[in-house]
Amino acid sequence: MPSVNPFPSRVDATSPAFTANLSAWSSLTETLRARLGGALAGGGAALVERHRQRGKIPVRDRIDLLLDTGSPFLELSPLAAYGLYSGDVAAAGIVTGIGLVENVPCMIIANDATVKGGSFFAETVRKHLRSQEIAEEHRLPCLYLVDCGGAFLPEQDRVFPDRDHFGGTFYNQCRMSAAGIPQISVVFGGATAGGAYIPALSDEVVMVRGTGRIHLGGPPIVKAAINEVVDGETLGGADMHTTVSGVSDHAAADERAAIAKLREIVSAFGDLRRITPPPFAPAPPRHDPAELAGIVPTDLKQPYDVREVIARLVDDSAFHEFKPDYGATLVCVFARIHGHPVAILANNGVLFSESALKGAHFIELADQRHIPLVFLQNITGFMVGTEAERGGIAKHSAKLVYAVSNARVPKYTILIGGSYGAGNYGMCGRGFRPRFLFSWPNARIATMSPEIAAGVVTDLRRQSISRGKADEADIAAIDARTRAQFEEQSDPYYATARLWDDGIIEPAQTRDVLGLCLALAAGEERDSNPRPVYRM
């Protein structure tokens, strides 16, 4: 950044602490990569091979063929449903992400038929809905690569009836289409029952001959309902729907031809928004992002200076720090990431009243200047105790929450450590609608840490005993159960399986992931109505 000197890092890469951190992070990274590898395998080698023998291309290979050569693909929630359903629903049976097609940024939503026939589980629906939410917010065309068996019937009560269930995906399609956001489908395999509405509600549809099927009720349902015996091709094949029903607009000889047709359709979109170049020339950090694994301890109780993290994320490792001598446990800086201006809020300890006031002031400055906000969360919460309460911590923390809630600029959140209690709210947790939220493999998210939770629960248990002496064995058992529950439920894989984030990323990937996210919002029209900056 002009007129801003690079941050003078004090990291000693030869120190025992740095080496120990690297070793601990190596284990976390190996675990993440192994689990991602399991998700990439879909339904397993045997089912993928059977898929190929049917003349079908695996889902991620379809996406590779669709995207512009050499362009990045930001995959979302690859570990959705991890550890659920006995581990049989890899990536929740659907691959979603953002990539360039004919130089147009698009949201790709692709069923994986090797995973339970592409059926929808509760997490599949959530992942589909989340992708549409991102697409609508950024006005990204949605490209549906359909190979879908509809709702997984044993899970129908978690998939079908509620507002944010399967029907919500169709509602979103209709609303986006009406808003001028293209909805295009290619049908590679089944599009059955509810799955039939994905192409039926699309603006334009391509079907693959021989394998593509669209029918509200498949042959077994037709036979059961009206005693009609019919084969799948006659009932809902590509030629029938392209020449008779008009549900499909194009029939393709094979999957590669269908993908080529989809690229052709996207190329004809006309004057849709392309990626807007950053306003400033990007510059790599002067301090290596790979050093993040040596700087940040995996033990959340160990402190570090978050400025060292920021220096490895921002252009030229340069930033302008706001109020550096006030509310020091919240670091607020203006910087650039891949040429995009950003306003970063990062935790350097528990949030006091001064930290909250500083953060609220900083957010309002960024909002007035139309600068996106980036939150780096490693927070135990707001300060507690008599002094803090008498000093108005509830009032001042509410000001930070209010500022976060009403900021008009795009917000992005990375969990780089703990995300506990109201600190999650003040630092723009999922409930505060960041455009994207990613986690590091060391992240933890819960109302409080396992140690504090166990202390609270056991103290309450002791207080509830009105007579006699507390049974210490019972207290110990409660302590152990509480710790185990909070350890399990605050684990980052527990969180990402349930789509509490948009994916787990390695620390060294953070700068580039943020760069891709910022690029999607670049060039958007901003609310230019003036707002005063309150000093709170």
Q: How confident is the model at residue 458 (pLDDT cuts 50, 70, 90)?
A: confident
Cut 0.85: pTM above it: yes
pLDDT at residue 1 is higher than 70: no
Q: What is the pLDDT of residue 28?
A: 97
Long-range contacts of 199-203 (CB under 8 A, 24+ apart): 199/144, 199/146, 199/247, 199/248, 200/247, 201/170, 201/173, 201/174, 201/177, 202/144, 202/173, 202/177, 203/177
Q: What is the pLDDT of residue 526?
A: 85
Percentage of residues in the chain having pLDDT higher than 70 = 98
- β-partners of residue 105 are 100
Q: What is the pLDDT of residue 470?
A: 66
Q: What is the pLDDT of residue 509?
A: 98
CA–CA dist 212, 236 (Å, integer): 8
- Residue range 432-458: mean pLDDT, rounded: 92
Give the CA count within 13 Å in the CB-facing half-sphere of 39: 27
Q: What is the pLDDT of residue 402?
A: 95
CA–CA dist 496, 269 (Å, integer): 34
- Residue range 197-211: mean pLDDT, rounded: 96
Q: Which two tokens stand for residue 464?
A: 């509830």
CA–CA dist 140, 513 (Å, integer): 17
Contact 309, 317 (CB under 8 A): no
Q: Is the dihedral of CA 396, 432, 497, 61 positive or negative?
A: negative
Q: What is the pLDDT of residue 149?
A: 82
Q: What is the pLDDT of residue 193?
A: 81
Q: How confident is the model at residue 457 (pLDDT cuts 50, 70, 90)?
A: confident
Q: What is the pLDDT of residue 522?
A: 93
Q: What is the pLDDT of residue 331?
A: 98
Flag the least confident range among 97-106, 211-220, 348-357, 434-443.
211-220
Q: Residue 70, class by beta-carbon neighbours within 10 Å (0-12 exposed, 13-18 middle, 19+ buried)?
A: exposed
CA–CA dist 44, 210 (Å, integer): 24
For 267-317, the three-class secondary structure string (H helix, E strand, C coil) is HCCCCCCCCCCCCCCCCCCCCCHHHHHHHCCCCCCCCCCHHHHHCCCCHHH
The residue length of the chain stands at 536
Q: Which two tokens stand for residue 493?
A: 């894989």
CA–CA dist 363, 402 (Å, integer): 10
pLDDT at residue 89 is higher than 90: yes
- DSSP annotation of 325: T
The predicted-structure confidence for 370-380, as pLDDT tens digits, reads as follows: 999 999 999 99
Contact 376, 310 (CB under 8 A): yes
- Residue range 219-227: mean pLDDT, rounded: 87
Q: What is the pLDDT of residue 224?
A: 87
Give the CA count within 13 Å in the CB-facing half-sphere of 143: 28
The predicted-structure confidence for 122-163, as pLDDT tens digits, reads as follows: 999 999 999 999 999 999 999 999 999 888 888 999 999 999
Q: Which of 208, 57, 85, 218 is nearest to 154 (CA)?
A: 85
Q: How confident is the model at residue 469 (pLDDT cuts 50, 70, 90)?
A: low
The number of angstroms, rounded, from the C-alpha of 442 to the middle of its chain's C-alpha atoms is: 16
CA dihedral 480, 484, 485, 486 (to 10 degrees): 100
The predicted-structure confidence for 293-326, as pLDDT tens digits, reads as follows: 999 999 999 999 999 999 999 999 999 999 999 9
For 44-103, the three-class secondary structure string (H helix, E strand, C coil) is CHHHHHHHHHCCCCCHHHHHHHHCCCCCCEEEECCCCCCCCHHHCCHHHHEEEEEEEECC
Q: How confident is the model at residue 171 (pLDDT cuts 50, 70, 90)?
A: very high
CA–CA dist 8, 317 (Å, integer): 9
Q: What is the pLDDT of residue 250?
A: 97
Flag the least confident range among 85-94, 167-176, 373-382, 449-458.
449-458
Better-predicted residue by pLDDT, 185 or 485:
185
The predicted-structure confidence for 497-531, as pLDDT tens digits, reads as follows: 999 999 999 999 999 999 999 999 998 888 888 87
pLDDT at residue 468 is higher than 70: no
Q: How confident is the model at residue 186 (pLDDT cuts 50, 70, 90)?
A: very high
Residue with tokens 């992002």: 289
Name 98's Cβ contacts closer than 8 Å, sequence gap at least 6: 73, 74, 76, 105, 106, 107, 108, 134, 140, 516, 520
Q: What rounded mean pLDDT belongs to the chain?
A: 94
Better-predicted residue by pLDDT, 234 or 463:
234
